[in-house]
Amino acid sequence: MNGPGRRPQTTIFTLMSALAQRHGAVNLGQGFPDESGPAHIIEAAATAMREGHNQYPPLAGIPELRHAITTHQRHWYGLAPDPDDGVTVTAGATEALTAAILAFVDPGDEVIALEPSYDSYKAAVTMAGGTLVPVRLDTPEGAEGHWRLDPARLAAAVTDRTKLLLVNSPHNPTGTVLHRDELEAIAALATRRDLLVVTDEVYEHLVFDGREHVPLASLPGMWDRTVTIGSAGKTFSVTGWKIGWATGPAGLIARVKDVKQWLSFASGTPFQYGIAEALASGDGYYRDYIAGYQERRDLMVAGLEAIGFEVHEPEGTYFVTTSVAPFGYGDGMAFCLELPERCGVVAVPNQAFYLDQEARPEVRFAFCKPVDVLEEGLKRLREGL
């Protein structure tokens, strides 16, 4: 977001997808699958259309979907948002995030977010008149792995003006899945400092190597202060349907709905029927979904390493963060702007996910593509770099 009177900034995804089109490049930038979701959910949406479900749904979403969301949360996490008062369907997770931020943040408030952070967070906080305070994911002293949460750094960022903690796990773009001890540190801090939490869990079903996704709201003391955000786009490979949701205690969800009614009011009636059907999928669907992505994650990690990238193996999401320093670049943006012409491949520079937007050597490849597309992308990188 820019200031009043200035031209709005184009998102990195729009910019990079336009470059992919112009150069006929393999688009490993913007995160959307090439394949459509399961045929039976597409049929459910088409049936809803044919049966005349083509007018406004209720503001909070059709009851079938709200009940399906509650059942899903109970089945996977033992959480039970009230389908009448504790769930609202939104136009993608993006609207849920924006509505929650506009609902809770007043001018002058501070919102703490993990950095790198998904680009819409800063835009929404700015629209609310608040200030985004980034807390870098890094490797705390003595800890293992990269892009971990340092609880001391998080605690040090809280001031008297902090209103909200904005958490994202599994994390875009790093692929970090917050471990239970990291989540417990967030919960302890939120409780101690009496903070609201908005947690973006759109990649909840994309965790690899037998890891567990733990919703923050499931930790002791967290339910009453947490709004949890989900999206059908990722889990069911229908990003264009833009069906997301916010769940939580009735008091907080009422405030999200108050704002949402002035954003879209409601959207996507037939898609809501499709997603109600999708959420009833058996555990086997989710197992196959993870297995399919884990195979592609392994292919990309091994392929990129063989070409010479420094690769950070993601624990979750369908993104892999690499460093392009081995190719002599300190600036991932410069690398990504050259890549389509040089190799016929598009990636996204991680610096787009930082407040300062400074040059950084990390770039993100999305692997939500069929194996032959990923292999073609790797071949082009191997030959062109």
Site membership for ligand PMP, residue 228 (CB under 6 A): no
- What's the rounded Cα separation, in Å, for the pair 246 and 72? 13
CA angle 383/384/385 to nearest 5° reads: 105
Q: Site for ligand GLN (CB under 6 A): which residue of 27, 30, 117, 322?
A: 30
Site membership for ligand PMP, residue 172 (CB under 6 A): yes
> CB 58 → ligand GLN: shortest distance, Å?
26
Residue 11 interface partner, choices ligand GLN, ligand PMP, none, CB cut-off 5-8 Å depending on type:
ligand GLN
Residue 200 interface partner, choices ligand PMP, ligand GLN, none, CB cut-off 5-8 Å depending on type:
ligand PMP
> CB 141 → ligand GLN: shortest distance, Å?
30
Residue 92 interface partner, choices ligand PMP, ligand GLN, none, CB cut-off 5-8 Å depending on type:
ligand PMP
Q: Site for ligand PMP (CB under 6 A): which residue of 38, 233, 314, 344?
A: 233
Closer CB to ligand PMP, 86 or 244, in the complex: 244
Tokens, residue 234: 């990722």
Cβ contact 139:148 at 8 Å: yes
Nearest-CB residue for ligand PMP: 92
Q: Site for ligand GLN (CB under 6 A): which residue of 9, 13, 82, 85?
A: 13
Cβ contact 349:312 at 8 Å: no
Closer CB to ligand GLN, 169 or 172, in the complex: 172
Closer CB to ligand PMP, 241 or 329, in the complex: 241
From the list 350, 380, 360, 327, the residue with the least C-alpha distance to 175 is 350
- What's the rounded Cα separation, in Å, for the pair 3 and 69? 37
Classify burial at 351, counting beta carbons within 10 Å of its beta carbon; exposed 0-12, middle 13-18, buried 19 or more.
buried
Site membership for ligand PMP, residue 38 (CB under 6 A): no
DSSP 123-177: HHHHHTT-EEEEEE-B--TT--SSSB--HHHHHHH--TTEEEEEEESSPTTT---
In Å, how far are 30, 69, 121 from 249, measured between CA atoms? 33, 14, 22
Tokens, residue 368: 């939500």
- What's the rounded Cα separation, in Å, for the pair 132 and 118? 12
Site membership for ligand GLN, residue 267 (CB under 6 A): no
Closer CB to ligand PMP, 317 or 344, in the complex: 317
Q: Site for ligand PMP (CB under 6 A): which residue of 162, 231, 269, 351?
A: 231
- What's the rounded Cα separation, in Å, for the pair 94 and 120? 7
Closer CB to ligand PMP, 83 or 233, in the complex: 233
Site membership for ligand GLN, residue 11 (CB under 6 A): yes
Residues within the interface to ligand GLN (CB under 6 A): 11, 13, 30-31, 172
